Chain A
């Protein structure tokens, strides 16, 4: 290969070991820059926590932990308590999960165990697209499509069946805890389906075959063998949806009624943590008011972190034991 002295000249020189020589190789730039970006993420998260913490100090000092258990939220009087929002957040999320879990898991079972793979993939693709729909659009549809249906069909039916229970009594104006819960359930169902289906598919086929070979029906196999194997992962998907439901803002704000009170009936309006921040933050005046809203943000942050962590651990555990 002596033919090309140009190449030889160029390539047979040892690169200079000076700083500039090494810089040309790119490593002296690429490593520190990518490292800096990575570290900056740590800083951003630290900054988020620090900002929330420092800006909520006024409330922490004034009300202490009593803030979390106080029922009164009266910005005009400067009295702030978080309980109505915590209540509303929990109730709407609970309603959402109660509806979404059975539906979602059943659909996941169908998609993982029954549907032919091609159809299953297509349907899952469509369902995952639904998870991409912006929440403000779910809110819009909630107001104009779901609310009339709930008012005209669901509420009368519930009244007729369970009207004696406080949960389903009292006047209904449309916006309510029930409506928010229903909209949320529509939003989290795609999550439950797609994660649960993954988990079900991760259950080894030989387990199914063993049960079927012993004469179990398809349903028995699914119910007794496959589901228990996947239960931890499905629980993970539930927690993931819960975290999403708790932090969901727009759709809830648009249909919950935005009233800071604690009512036993699902028909009455309520308020959620995310909704009160969305509604009042821009107009809030006075340190205590703002700091109370930010403290609510901190509470929400803490809640979702804990629940997300649980979800991830559960999902990791199942996919690992299944594999």
Chain B
């Protein structure tokens, strides 16, 4: 009797445990099949013209996305200039100056901002920038992505600064450093590798954002001059070309997807390696 029960239990044990293993393999398998497909297909569609030429007018084949690559860069530059300073200075405030209740409130609001769907941020950037200026623009797209960068900038900064041991702050202050100098010459440098990789992850995250750009940066088949004209970006190009009824444009979309994904993953991997290695090397 007991023999049989324990046999049944043993079988359940093996079956269920193998099932979890199977699910893991399935998830990872599906995901990597999909990505592998993108890499193979994308790499095949990629050529030099993709990086150097403008999109061809509809009907013609060939061409590239040089303007969208530069456009993405410009939009991201504005996003970084808005999101990183506001976010990381606020993170410094939370970690170094704020009292508990205020920090709790801010953290709550920051999480809230982080949870707002990107399409909603797009609406807001539209009504804040596009409507008053009466123009879709690089600037509007950058504002949208910049707002999206703030929450993660705040949280990573706060987290990495709080991880700096207090003894370093005391050491600096005991030498006559003001609080501000302590923060900016000891605490921030001690956390710098974490901060940089945090910002890289943050950038990688918004680099692929499409929804908030649809009606802020809009798109452009040509070079966008300055910062106040509609501008092409890689994610929006992928979206438009994927839905376009032409095989040639689908190829372009694959190529763009490949480039975008390679970029995002490269930044991600670098940043995570820095984080993983950072504390070990600096703290022995």
Contact = CB atoms under 8 A, between A and B. Distances in A.
- Do A and B touch directly, given a CB cutoff of 8 Å in the complex? yes
Given A41-B106, A190-B31, 7 more contacts: A26-B178, A48-B124, A127-B31, A140-B38, A248-B117, A281-B126, A308-B111
B34 A145 contact: yes
B115 A308 contact: yes
Interface string A114-151: 11000000010111011011111101110111100000
A193 interface: yes
Interface in B175-205: 176, 178-181, 183-184, 201, 204-205
Interface stretch (B51-59, B61-69, B73-81, B237-245): B237-245
B117 A274 contact: yes
A223 B176 CA distance: 57
Contacts of B92: 30, 34
Contacts of A137: 38, 208, 238, 257, 260-261
Contacts of B257: 136-137, 140
A47 B10 CA distance: 60
Interface string A87-119: 000000000000000111011011101110000
Contacts of B211: 135, 249-250, 274, 278
A30 B128 CA distance: 29
Contacts of A278: 119, 211, 214
Contact of A123 (B24, B30, B112, B126): B24
A304 B86 contact: no
Interface stretch (A68-76, A203-211, A214-222, A260-268): A214-222
29 contacts: A26-B179, A26-B181, A34-B97, A37-B90, A38-B93, A41-B86, A44-B147, A48-B113, A51-B123, A51-B128, A55-B123, A103-B26, A107-B28, A132-B205, A134-B260, A134-B261, A139-B242, A141-B38, A144-B242, A186-B30, A219-B17, A247-B116, A249-B211, A254-B239, A277-B122, A278-B119, A282-B215, A297-B123, A301-B120
A75 to B, nearest CB: 16
User: Nearest 10 A-B pairs (CB), nearest first?
Assistant: A134-B208, A247-B117, A26-B180, A106-B23, A34-B93, A30-B180, A308-B115, A25-B178, A249-B211, A110-B20
Interface string B216-255: 0010000000000000000100110011000000100110
Contacts of B172: none
Nearest to A308: B115
Nearest to B130: A282
Interface of A: 11, 25-27, 29-31, 33-35, 37-38, 40-42, 44-45, 47-48, 51-52, 55, 102-104, 106-107, 109-111, 113-115, 123, 125-127, 129-130, 132-137, 139-141, 143-146, 186, 189-190, 193, 217-220, 223, 243, 246-250, 253-254, 274, 277-278, 281-282, 293-294, 297, 300-301, 304-305, 308-309, 312
B44 interface: no
A250 B179 CA distance: 46
Interface in B87-120: 87, 89-90, 92-94, 96-98, 106, 109-113, 115-120
B116 A304 contact: yes
Given A41-B90, A137-B261, A254-B242, A132 B215 contact: no
Contacts of A250: 210-211, 235, 239
Contacts of A223: 16
B165 interface: no
Contacts, number: 256
A144 B250 contact: yes
A277 B16 contact: no
Contact of B27 (A26, A193, A247, A248): A193
A139 B110 CA distance: 28
Contacts of B109: 41-42, 45
B269 interface: yes
B47 interface: no
Interface string B251-284: 0011001001100110011001000000000000
Contacts of A126: 28, 32
A34 B238 CA distance: 38
Nearest to B127: A51
A51 B123 CA distance: 9
A300 B106 contact: no
A129 B260 CA distance: 14
Contacts of B139: none
B123 A44 contact: no
Contacts of B37: 141, 145
Nearest to A301: B120
Q: Which of A27, A29, A134 is most buried by chain B, counting CB atoms within 10 A of its CB? A: A134
A128 to B, nearest CB: 8
A42 B16 contact: no
Contacts of A129: 265, 268-269
B97 A35 contact: yes
Contact of A133 (B113, B147, B179, B261): B261
Contacts of A297: 119-120, 123
Given A45-B109, A250-B211, A114 B242 contact: no
A264 B208 CA distance: 34
A11 B124 CA distance: 52
Nearest to B235: A136
B90 A34 contact: yes
A258 to B, nearest CB: 10
A1 to B, nearest CB: 15
B261 A110 contact: no
